[in-house]
Structure 1
Amino acid sequence: MSDVKFIVREPLLDPSQRVIGFQLSWQNNVKNAELDTSALSDLMSFVARELEDTEKGFLLGDSLIFLEAVPGLLQAEGLRHLSPKNTVLIFSKRYFGDEISLAAIKELRALGFGICLKNADISALERSFFSLITHFEVQLDSSNLTAQAKMYAALKQSNVQMVARNVGNWQDFDACAALGLSSFVGKLHLTPRPNIAQKGLNTTQTTILQLMEMIRKNADIQQLETVVKRDAALAYKLLRYINSAGFGLRTEVQSLKHAVTILGYSPLYRWLSLLLATASTSGNSPVLLETAIVRGRFAEILGQPFMSKTEAENLFVAGMFSLLDRLLGLPMEEVLTTIQLPEPVVEALVSRSGIYGPYLALAEACELNSMLVASLAETLKISTQDVNKAHLSALVWAKNIAAA
């Protein structure tokens, strides 16, 4: 794999706002650039190595991975190691007009891969294509939704799933959802839904903050247990997280005391930070919460080779809390007056400075098609390959946590 390519992800949401997949691509600021067969093959090989396990299978569960493709990839090494049922290959309409290319696409479909058609006019689509494609990419035209709705209703009679591209605001997402379309949401995954954001902390979050402060002051375990027992649902969720595949324990933790005995106080702090975000009752899109979890784990993995275990766990907290203002519907300054955090974490959250700031900034930049990624990685002396491995590893970890 070339040392100059960084992976970019774009979430795919179903009409109920659930994250059902991602498009993975190499960072590229040239719009409509010609697809490079070698680069696409490299991406497939890398994705297969990081997301496929010989024993566990596809590591992102039932999620779909969308990858740009060209017919010449049929013999690509990486393609043979991808899970066909979890992989959707995106082809431009022009390949369907060439007999040799169409034969290659048919073979890929026969192998079980999903086929997404783009750059096509839905009203002029040949009926013979409907048995070949699994997804159809549409460009939302919010000024002419009535006509679009009629076309999409006709397409619903087939088994083809429609996905909208470049959905830039929640109003357009709702329009797509009403039409039954899943949506690639670009930067929208970082934007809270308007008018429904929770203002301030709910009762459970107040309890979690109390626990975090007690841990910071090394309170006695019996005092911690007394507070946890006030909220049975909180205690249950905390133990589920600790026992999840994301933590990798070999022994099942039965109680808070047992967790502290095995893990100590520091890891408990990070799990409470995760609970603080997931306890939001704001009605925010699940994609915002998942992004916070991925960002926290991503930053932590990036920092692990360069700092102590406790410092790396603080990176996780910084990553999680970097979106807490949007999850809670409060300005970051107000969030920081409510939660007592170590000064280096505060520096990272406020100005992306200090020991943790650059790692958090790098994790953020990788969520977008940002040219800052290369310079940040170079400054931190982290290779392109290690950044990409950390990125996909964080996605897998977040999926395991979401399933807890």
Structure 2
Amino acid sequence: MEGFFLGRQPILDRNQNLVAFELLFRQEETEESVRITDDLSASANVIINAYCQLGIQNVLGKQRGFINANPELVMSDIISLLPSKHVVLEIKETATVTPEFMQRCNELKQKGYQFALDNIVEMNSKVEQLLPVVSVVKVDVLALEQNALTKLVTELNRWPVLLLALKVESREQEKYCMQLGFQMFQGYYFAKPEVMAVKRADPGKLSLLKLLTLVMGDSDIEELEREFKHQPGLSYNLMRMVNSVSSGLPQKINSIKHAIMILGRKQLQRWIQLLLYTANQSDDSMSNALMQTAAARGKLMELIATAERPHDKNHQERAFMVGILSLLDVLLGIEMQQITDRLGIPDDMSQALLTREGRLGQELKLIEANEKGEIAAIQSILSELGFLSLSELADIEIQAIEWANRIGEAAN
């Protein structure tokens, strides 16, 4: 299977929950590679990669996988490799629709397989012939003007099928398709094919972002306490965290106000940043992985800043914050520009987060290169910085990871 790999494009529902993936066959491009035009070969490769190489659970999790299925694949025994609960077979109206093909589709439907009709731009006799066997119709919304799209949706609504808006590339397109009643959405507006997960901002995280803004804006303790009281779950999380790291104190911390006073503003800011990665996550492994990475980034940024300016606490604190915030756009599913605007952070930190420029930006670039194991980039940035060696970076990285692991244990 060398030279082949699998792409996944997320399919979302009306609330931007992940409900399925389209599995996309990809061929590694080399000078010698011949473009594969045999659809059966492409689909077979997707299946073999999904089931044998990567493990279907790793590829799909609990979601279904949409797989392109041309008539040869539908008629072949390869279908028996695919448990019906895992897949939706995508057929195209351009397929040669023979009585044998329709009979096979009906047989597979009886066995629990679902079909989707792919890339529809108009109603015609072939589409009408295929509609009785399909559960989902994927409409190419990019190819249609609004009037034509509205007309097509009206015609399709006569059938008991779910409508999926395909090739959604802008907020406006999504909004219009929502108004037309589409139930599912797919396209570069949501995620490019190789993105392996989709996250969305939930109320808990947005409240935490508001709290972070209040802390950074020097709001008084009463205002912070009021905001915490709106989110009992977050209050409980904070109390647990504060108690777990304050075990040396003579008494347990039993109020939000007490917790804020014990922690102090800077530490509270840190805890809120870390809580952002643990609040209300349905996928615990994802939330833990993100929190660990964010915590390690923050600490490593702080240790690099300490090596650069040992007595500048303010610089170290800002470096920590850049590290922590650098994954917040991934977590919340919103643009980093919106986050920096909402938090009103200083220019050098915004510059680092948005464009990886400036001293802090360069240090963040170093950490990202380090995470990917890009040795040439690491050495190049280290020589530009001029105050840290590769072995010193390795030493402080171990310190940062140990610190992040302790934080992770306290959060669980």
TM-score (norm: length of structure 1) = 0.54
1:154 maps to which residue?
155
C-alpha distance in 1 between matches for 2:216 and 2:52: 39
1:47-100 CA-partner distances (Å, limit 9, x unpaired): 9834289xxxx843xx443222344365448844x4x34532212234451455
SS of residue matched to 1:90: strand
Q: TM-score, normalised by structure 2?
A: 0.53
Letter in 2 for 1:9: R
Asked whether the 8 Å contact 1:123–1:151 carries over to 2, the reply is: no
Once residues 361 and 335 of structure 1 are traced to their aligned partners in structure 2, the CA distance between those partners, rounded to angstroms, is 33
Matches within 5 A, 1:236-247: 236-237=233-234
CA distance in 1, matches of 2:114, 2:105: 10
In structure 1, the residue matched to 2:132 is: 131
Q: Tell me the SS of whatever aligns to 1:231.
A: helix
Are positions 1:319 and 2:327 aligned together?
yes
1:167, 1:50 → 2: CA distance?
27
Conserved 8 A contact 1:295-1:319 = no
- Pair 1:108–1:173, CA change in 2 (3 A): same
Counterpart of 1:51, as a letter, is Q
Matches within 5 A, 1:34-73: 34-35=38-39, 36-45=42-51, 49-51=55-57, 59-60=61-62, 63-70=63-70, 71-72=72-73
Is 1:274–2:277 an aligned residue pair? yes
Contact 2:6–2:50 (8 Å) recurs in 1: no
Give the Cα separation in 2 of the matches to 1:360 and 1:103.
Answer: 50
**Residues 335-350 of structure 1: matches in 2 within 5 Å?**
337=346, 350=361
Max Rg structure: 2
Q: Quote the RMSD (CA, aligned, Å).
A: 5.7
How far has the Cα of 1:350 moved from its partner?
4.1
Deviations 1:362-390, CA, capped at 9 Å, x for gaps:
9xxxxxxxxxxxx99xxxxxxxxxxxxxx
Q: Name the residue aligned to 1:20.
A: 19
Partners of 1:47 and 1:117 lie apart in 2 by 28
Count of aligned pairs between the two proteins: 306
Residue 9 (structure 1) aligns with: 8
Q: Aligned residue for 2:303?
A: none
Q: Is the 8 A contact 2:277 2:287 kept in 1?
A: no
Post-superposition shift, 1:178?
2.0
SS in 2 for 1:181: coil
Equivalent residues in 2 for 1:385-404, closer than 5 Å: none
1:181 lines up with 2:214 in the alignment: no
Aligned residue identity for 2:275? L
CA distance in 2, matches of 1:208, 1:158: 49
* Cα offset, 1:165, TM superposition: 1.8
Structure 1 residues 178 and 142: alpha-carbon distance in aligned structure 2, compared to 1, 3 A threshold: farther
Q: Is the 8 A contact 2:22 2:67 kept in 1?
A: yes
Matches within 5 A, 1:214-293: 231-237=228-234, 255-257=240-242, 260=245, 271-274=274-277
CA contact (8 A) 1:347 1:353 kept: yes
Equivalent residue letter for 1:164: A
Alpha-carbon separation, structure 1, partners of 2:4 and 2:225? 46
Aligned to 1:113: 113
Q: Match of 1:355? A: 367
After TM superposition, give the deviation of residue 19 of structure 1 in Å. Answer: 3.9
Q: 1:346 to 1:106 in 2, by over 3 A?
A: same
- Give distance in 2, aligned partners of 1:180 and 1:168: 17
Which one-letter code corresponds to 2:11 in the other structure?
Answer: L
State the 1:115 CA deviation. 0.6
Counterparts in 2 of 1:10 and 1:329: CA distance versus 1, 3 Å: same
Contact 2:209-2:276 within 8 A present in 1 as well? no
AA in 2 matched with 1:234: Q
Q: Deviations over 1:158-178 (max 9, x none)?
A: 211122221211222222222
Displacement, 1:261? 8.0
List per-residue Cα deviations over 1:104-133 (Å, max 9, x = no partner).
Answer: 433432232221112554233454422211
Cα–Cα, structure 1 residues 339 and 14, in superposed 2: closer, same or farther, change >3 Å? farther
Q: Amino acid of the residue matched to residue 146 of structure 1? A: N
Q: Distance in 2 between matches of 1:298 and 1:8?
A: 22
Could you list the per-position Cα deviations for residues 119-153 of structure 1 after superposition, in whole angstroms to 9, with x for gaps in the alignment? 55423345442221111122226764334323322
- Gaps of at least 5 residues in structure 1 are 192-200, 214-223, 243-252, 279-288, 363-374, 377-404
Match of 1:207 in 2: 211
Distance in 1, Cα, partners of 2:169 & 2:246: 47
The 3-state SS of whatever aligns with 1:187 is coil
SS at match of 2:168: coil
Rounded Cα–Cα distance in structure 1 between residues aligned with 2:89 and 2:323:
35
Q: Which amino acid aligns with 2:13?
A: D
> Are the counterparts in 2 of residues 117 and 135 from structure 1 also a CA contact under 8 Å?
yes
Distance 1:26 1:318, change over 3 A: farther
SS of alignment partner, residue 159 of structure 1: coil
Using the alignment, how far apart are the partners of 1:206 and 1:108 within structure 2? 51
8 A contact 1:8–1:26 mirrored in 2: yes
User: Are the structure 2 counterparts of residues 107 and 345 from structure 1 closer, same or farther at C-alpha, using a change threshold of 3 Å?
Assistant: same
CA 1:227–1:179: 2 relative to 1, 3 Å: closer
Question: For residues 207 and 150 of structure 1, do their structure 2 counterparts lie closer, same or farther at Cα, with a shift above 3 Å needed?
Answer: closer
> 1:45, CA displacement in angstroms?
0.9
Q: Against the structure 1 CA distance between its residues 107 and 7, is the aligned structure 2 distance closer, same or farther, given a 3 Å change threshold?
A: same
